[in-house]
Structure 1
Amino acid sequence: MKYAFLFLSLCLHTVYAQQPAPSNNKAERLQIAAAMENSLQKELLAQWYPRSFDTVYGGFTSSYTYDFKPAPNQDKMIVTQARHTWVNAKAAERYPAMAYYTAGAKHGFLFLKDVMWDKTYGGFYTLVDQEGRVKRTGFAEKEAYGNAFGIYALAAYYKTSGDTAALGLAKRAFAWLEAHSHDQVYKGYFQHMQRDGTPVKRTADIPSVSDLGYKDQNSSIHLLEAFTELYLAWPDPLLRERLTEMLLLIRDTIVSPKGNLILFFQPDWTPVSFGNSDKENILKHRYLDHVSFGHDVETAWLMLEASHVLGFKDDSITLHKAKQMVDHALHNGWDSVVGGFYDEGYYFKGDDGITIIKDTKNWWAQAEGMNTLLFMADLFPNDPLRYFEKFKQLWNYAQTYLIDHEHGDWYEGGLDKQPELKKSLKGHIWKATYHHFRSLSNCISALRNSKS
């Protein structure tokens, strides 16, 4: 969706009745948009497509070295394959003259349909090898997270192509989640499932550091995202009910009173927390319990997107919660010297404030941060936090420490903190093009469509 929030932004401007800040002028915005457009087309999309189309086994080649040579491990995960499909579908809308994006979206759809979808039990497999043979991934062979991205890609491809087979498969995936993953008692979705869709229950022999059997924020926010995309193509009453359910669950339960996402939960939505134990034990379980500033700023935008697509008018509750999340991340997880959101923080018991426990800056958080900061800048141009200035600083940070201007794409993390990542993989099953494509595409549209 080409910055579908522009309409919402204009509506909310009337509510807050603010004038654009002096530094946020049209000429400057167009200059930034031009630089982003160049980077999006030449430094990101042109490096991946059509290079990554696997014309032998189908789908997309997952792994590339820092200089875009195929890497040894070429397993294919539903998340990566769906994200590449989604990006090609959106790029086909954005650049209709470039036919290979349309072809790439169809190519991805066929792989999702013919290889990743379980024709016996339904649902998308999590992982296959390069040739498409299913690989076991432990106790959970399927996940709500991966199925969410399958739906996300199918809905986008249908919108681009009009291929009813894609919409039909998206509906089947939604029905599969409804039958197996949705919790009729406590709401939300179980993340881990066996092949036949049976939810995996947490038992005493599961290691304390494992997330197996927990509900979580990450699958929840991406189910919200997927249902939003699907609802645009298929305004089904049950889908609307589930989309609303996820928005309210995330906004009112998963987001803490401080404004950060709680990461993991028991099935009844009791938070998984180690805050009352000693620091060593807390850090041992940091994967399950920390403040993830990147997820916070990403979720703020996803909640507002869902609210808009649902047609909620003057949704001040969601708006205020989203702003609280962004402000919390800026106050507590922002590098005020060079810019960028840190990866992890923690509120240790007895401390006055938050402690940064991981000061690296992964690529996806900075991409999502740019998108959200620009959106907040257009909603609140005179806010004391100066969102537009933060947006510009983050774009400058990306150009300086994240974008590989020689080989293309973005490094996995900012070189100011992790210079060794200059030679790390450009692509793998957890790193594709979705976060930074969406951010740059949305930002370009918003910058060009400004009324400033």
Structure 2
Amino acid sequence: MIPTTTPHRTWLDAETRRLLDFGAAAALPQGGAAYLDERGRPDPAQGVQTWITARTAHVYALGHLLGVPGAGAVADAALAGLTGALRDDAHGGWFHAVSTTGEPDRAAGKSAYDHAFVMLAAASATVADRPGASDLLAEATAVYLERFWDEAAGRPVDTWDVAFETLDPYRGLNATMHSVEAMLAVADAVEPGAAGPWRDRAARATAFVVELAAAHDGRLPEHFGPDWTPDLDLNADRPGDQFKPYGATPGHGLEWSRLLLHLEAVRPGPWLGAAVALFDRAVADGWSADGAEGFVYTTDWQGTPVVRTRMHWVVAEAIAAAAALHTRTTDTRFADLYATWWDYAERYLVDAEHGSWHHELDPANRPAATVWPGKPDVYHALQATLLPRLPLAPTVARALAAGELR
């Protein structure tokens, strides 16, 4: 945990509360959470999306555990969307989205990415003792294990059609990453005797990432065929895709780096060396790679920038990863980078006028909206203010409930 001075802890706490204040407008009277625009207003054109709703439930469960007035009500509104309109009563699981009139998006099918976030939301809300959360957690974990977890592969499949009849051949590392995050949280939310298998699954999926990093010089392939053979050219013709960009994504290298350390704290293994290698590669390839401050979004397989847009979530994950590595190693270089990236975030990303963080900047660090219009939610930024003040284990909700926040 990096924060050692009272002024920095005070600043982080104020930013936590500022973000929670901004995102509270996402709570919808009919249940669910809205995608927010630049000023924090619900954007009806985006509908009600499961991943946004689940991340909102998670974040405001954390807010409730922090004792922030009103946070529990926001979490409950989001949970009502997950147990209501977003839930598929006919086929099980959760739709990707519903329109503002409640019409499900059936064309998008059902994804491991969405369902991992439902598990995370249910786990955090269970720890926060929100009404109905434990039942949601039981349902979400059952659906995930039945439909998405591939026991033979030791990692999840990616996307089904809406009726769970046809499985897409695509496999993805993004859904795997958020599955690991969710599985570690689930382990901290279920009865102690049930925690081990969830951590075992997380370890199996993460071991694959360690192998990938070693085989690709620290850069992680994101896209795979059904046998998990990397497809290194996927989306080369549209490299800025929101969820499936071409090439390597330095931000995911940073996020995996941190997750490896959370896993190591509960499952000893060869995680530290891989965490450092992933972090160092992401920083070398991504930070100020084109002569300007900031992390580029993607690179090719030689580390050359492809999409030079700067995403807020990458900086948030860089901050959290640097904090985790400093906690684990006490190496001052991680503390120095932590400070550098908070300075960058405060200078370019933190929107003092309209709230939250700008979600996207152009290569000159000016607000942009080519990939991510608006300010959809506060998940990444909020966690960047909390993780540096917490131990590597347990996961965030359980650590807050145990009074571990510094």
Moved more, 237-246 or 169-178: 237-246
Question: In the alignment, which of 305, 317, 324 is matched to residue 356 of structure 1?
Answer: 305
The alignment status of 1:341 with 2:295, answered yes or no, reads: yes
Give the Cα separation in 1 of the matches to 2:69 and 2:171. 41
Query: SS at 2:306's partner residue?
Result: strand
Mapping of residues 378-393 of structure 1, within 5 Å: 378-382=327-331, 386-393=333-340
Q: Which residue of structure 1 lines up, in the alignment, with residue 10 of structure 2?
A: 34
Residue in structure 1 matched with residue 119 of structure 2 by the alignment: 151
Are 2:189 and 1:233 aligned? yes
Amino acid at match of 1:319: L
1:54 to 19, 28, 32: 28
Output aligned runs, 1:280-359, within 5 Å. Answer: 282=236, 287=244, 289-308=246-265, 311-313=266-268, 315=269, 317-335=270-288, 339-348=293-302, 354-359=303-308
> Any idea what the Cα deviations from partners look like across 1:302-324, whole Å, max 9, x if unmatched?
1221332xx324x3x11110111
Identify which range, 68-77 or 259-268, moves more after superposition: 68-77
Indicate which of 392, 402, 411 corresponds to 2:349: 402
Which SS does the other structure have where 1:340 is aligned? coil
Partner of 1:91: 63
Alignment partners' CA distance in 2, 1:290 and 1:312: 30
Aligned partner of 1:215 in structure 2 is: 171
When residues 74 and 355 of structure 1 are mapped into structure 2, their CA distance, relative to the original with a 3 A threshold, is closer
**C-alpha distance in 2 between matches for 1:341 and 1:285:** 16
190, 196, 201: which one aligns with 1:242? 201
Mapped contact 1:86–1:153 kept (Cα < 8 A): yes
SS at match of 1:115: coil
CA separation of 1:196 and 1:339: change in aligned 2, threshold 3 A:
same
| Deviations 1:270-302, CA, capped at 9 Å, x for gaps | 111239xxxxx9555675541100011011111
TM-aligned CA deviation for residue 132 of structure 1: 2.5
Separation in 2 of the partners of 1:63 and 1:221? Answer: 24
TM-score, normalising length: structure 1: 0.78
Aligned to 1:209: none
**Counterparts in 2 of 1:274 and 1:445: CA distance versus 1, 3 Å:** closer
Of 418, 421, 435 in structure 1, the residue corresponding to residue 368 of structure 2 is 421
What letter corresponds to residue 118 of structure 1 in structure 2?
D
Aligned to 1:187: 154
Q: Is the 8 A contact 2:246 2:298 kept in 1?
A: no
Match of 1:79 in 2: 51
1:375 aligns with 2:320: no
What corresponds to 2:104 in structure 1? Answer: 134
CA shift for structure 1 position 59: 1.7
State percent identity of aligned pairs: 21
Task: After TM superposition, give the deviation of residue 420 of structure 1 in Å.
Answer: 4.6
What's the offset of the Cα at 1:38? Answer: 1.9
Contact 1:88–1:105 (CA<8 Å) still a contact in 2?
yes
Provide, for residues 83-124 of structure 1, a one-character-per-residue CA deviation record: whole Å limited to 9, x for no partner.
000000011111x2x331112222221221122221222111
Gaps of 5+ in 1: 1-5, 7-23, 202-212, 276-280, 349-353
Name the CA distance, whole Å, in 1 between partners of 2:405 and 2:35. Answer: 36
* 2:251 aligned partner, one-letter code: G
SS of the equivalent of 2:299 reads strand
Counting matched residue pairs gives: 387
| Shift, 1:382, TM fit | 3.7
Aligned to 1:224: 180
2:64–2:71: 8 Å Cα contact kept in structure 1? yes
Note if 1:125 corresponds to 2:84.
no
Aligned to 1:12: none
Please tell me the residue identity of whatever aligns with 1:84. T
Within 1, Cα distance between the matches of 2:16 and 2:273?
31
Q: Secondary structure at the match of 1:358?
A: coil
Work out the CA distance in 1 between the residues paired with 2:129 and 2:163: 31
User: Structure 1's 104 and 450: CA in aligned 2 closer, same or farther, altered over 3 A?
Assistant: closer
Please give the alpha-carbon distance, in whole angstroms, between the structure 2 residues aligned to 1:267 and 1:318.
26
Alignment partners' CA distance in 2, 1:388 and 1:324: 17
Quote the offset at 1:60 in angstroms: 1.9
Structure 1 or 2, whichever has the larger Rg, is: 1
SS at structure 2 position matched to 1:32: helix
RMSD: 2.8
Other-structure match for 1:178? 145
- What is the SS of the residue equivalent to 1:174? helix
Deviation at 1:345, TM superposition (A): 1.0
Higher RCO structure (Cα 8 Å, ≥6 apart): 1
Alignment counterpart, residue 378 of structure 2, candidates 410, 426, 433: 433
2:137 pairs with 1:161 = no
Give SS of 2:309's match: coil
Taking structure 2 as the reference length, what is the TM-score of the superposition?
A: 0.86
Amino acid at match of 1:217: L
The code of the aligned residue for 1:417 comes to: A
Query: Matches of 1:40 and 1:152 in 2, distance apart?
Result: 19
